[in-house]
Amino acid sequence: MTHDENPAYRAVLFDLDGTLLDTAPDFVTALNRMLAQRGQDLLDPHLIRTGVTHGSAGLISLAFGLRADSPDFEPLRQEFLGYYQDCLSQQTRLFPGLEQLLTKFARQDIPWGIVTNKPELYTRAILSDLKLPSAPRTVICPDHVSRTKPDPEPVLLACRELNIAPAEALYVGDHLRDIQAGLNAGCYTVSAAYGYIGGDDDPRDWGAHFLITDPAQLDAIVFAR
């Protein structure tokens, strides 16, 4: 291994939607199928894409203009999740450049993991369907913790499962809550400005150690040059 190939961190952790995987196309399919069934106008895919970061609840609010305390909200959310489960991984893919990075991790035996607010049911199904170059050594979902991001609990759990100190890990995310969770855990953090960023969000304001606009830029951070 040359000096340039020495990893600067003992492990890399990723948020899932909008950071590791481009899952938005399948959310677009599911939500617009649901709207079409009701004879409603379809939503602009870009609008749905920026809303994915707020999960199924955010997408229901976007599509139907409902608050979470509306009696119609939860039935609609559950119906949407049924549509989503039907097309979970039809178009979902790694973001460009990450296949090469995960291949490099496998070659050099660098552990990586996922810390997501996506429920395990959907996370595991997608990971099972995708043929990733290397497998995550830890996958932390809301099912595994009592407090989700921005609380540091899921990031700290991932570090324990990898048997590393938080200061030895790099956490990459495309939302303020990801960076807050990583910082509160004591990790180094990367704002993924290529992800699902809402119009009012500015990743430069999140306080991360690094900011990238292209997933391929991660290589130079992980393998510090």
* Three-class secondary structure of residue 129 per DSSP: helix
What are the Cα distances from residue 42, in Å, to 63, 72, 106? 9, 20, 41
Nearest to 167 by CA among 9, 14, 13, 7: 9
Q: Which residues contact 173 (CB under 8 A, 6 or more apart)?
A: 14, 15, 19, 149, 179, 181, 182, 189, 190, 191, 192, 195
Helix 73-86 to helix 24-37 angle (10° resolution) is 120
Phi, psi (degrees; rounded to nearest 5) at 102: -65, -30
Catalytic residue among 4, 15, 22, 151: 15
4 annotated active-site? no
Contact 56, 80 (CB under 8 A): yes
72 annotated active-site? no
Nearest to 192 by CA among 217, 207, 177, 213: 213
Q: Which residues contact 91 (CB under 8 A, 6 or more apart)?
A: 25, 26, 29
Q: Which two tokens stand for residue 194?
A: 């290529």
Which residues are part of the catalytic machinery? 15, 17
